[in-house]
Amino acid sequence: MSMRRTAGRAATLALVLGAGAALAETPNLGRPVSEADIAAWDISILPDGQGLPAGNGTAAQGKTVYAEQCAACHGDNGRGGILGSVVGAPPIDRIEATKTIANFWGYPTTVFDFIRRAMPATQPRTLSADQVYALVAYIFAENKLIGEADVMSAETLPKVKMPNRDNFIIRFPDRI
């Protein structure tokens, strides 16, 4: 950057500040990109279903994926694993009660989002969309949240009603 240009920018900045405008000059060093460039990183799934990929799966398909990818930590058939069961809804009768998908999680989309981004723990983001849909279908069916034959997809998954959805209190509403 030349001295002249620097001086010019400084003068502009001074003018802007002097005028009390909110548009103070900032460096603008970010490289513009398109959403398409970001697609591989954009794995957020919102509770209304935004971000869910194409694909689908059933509990029967999920049972196989589960046995291969999940059972070692989460137990046979989703029960009793060393890192927690994914099936079961013990009562929430204590402040230290075990939080499970069926007794606590408020949104079905969270299950898809978390499996896809973080599971299997040692090899996250290696499952296909169909495999994740199948796993969600299997876990939901085992928890009796959907029927055995129900297909999970971007269309059907966000509509699953989680039993505990309405039991949350926003701690400080004025901070939102």
Partner 1 sequence: MGSKRSRHGLENAPIVAGNGLIDRRALLGRGVLLAGAMGTGGALTGAAAEPLTDAPWSLEQGAVLPTYQVASRFEKPVARTLSNPKNEPRTSHARTPHHLLAGTITPNGLHFTICHQGGTPDIDPDKHRLVIHGMVKQPLVFTLDTLARYPMTTRITFLECGGNSAPMFSPVPLQESVQALHGLASCAEWTGVKLSVLLEEAGVDPAAKWLIAEGADVSGLSRSTPLKKAMDDAMVALYQNGERLMPGNGYPMRLLLPGYEGNMNVKYLRRIKLTDQPQMSYYETRTYSQLLPGGKAYRFYFLQEVKSFITQPSHGMALKEPGYYEISGIAYSGAGRIAKVTVSADGGTSWAEAALQTPVLPKAFTRFRMPWRWDGAPAVLQSRAWDESGAVQPTRAEFVALRGETKTPPNVLGFPNQHYNSITSWGVGPKGEVKHVYA
- 33-92 binders of partner 1 (CB under 8 A): 33-35, 37-38, 41-48, 73, 83, 92
Q: Judged by CB under 8 A, how many residues of this single chain contact partner 1? A: 51
- Residue 22 CB, shortest distance to partner 1, in Å, is 9
Tell me the closest approach of the beta carbon of residue 150 to partner 1, in angstroms.
22
Q: Among 5, 18, 122, 159, which residue sits at the site for partner 1 (rule: CB under 8 A)? A: 122
Long-range Cβ contacts of 113-119 (<8 Å, 24+ apart): 113/43, 113/44, 113/45, 113/51, 116/43, 116/45, 117/43, 119/69, 119/70
CB 135 within 8 A of CB 65: yes
Of 62-70, 109-117, 138-146, 151-159: span binding partner 1 (CB under 8 A): 109-117
Three-state secondary-structure class, residue 29: coil
Residue 110 in contact with partner 1, rule: CB under 8 A:
yes
Binding segment (CB under 8 A) for partner 1, from list 54-62, 97-105, 128-136, 143-151: 97-105
Q: How far apart are CA 148 and CA 26, in angstroms?
A: 56
CB of 103 to partner 1, least distance (A): 9
| Beta carbons of 87 and 142 less than 8 angstroms apart | yes
Q: Choose one: 9-17, 29-37, 131-139, 144-152; the region binding partner 1 (CB under 8 A).
A: 29-37
Minimum CB distance to partner 1, residue 148 (Å):
26
Q: Which residues contact 154 (CB under 8 A, 6 or more apart)?
A: 49, 52, 53, 54, 55
The whole-angstrom separation of Cα 139 and Cα 112 is 11
Rg (CA), the chain: 24
Which positions lie near partner 1, rule CB under 8 A? 26-35, 37-38, 41-48, 73, 83, 92-97, 99, 104-107, 109-110, 113-114, 117-118, 121-122, 124-125, 167-172, 175-176
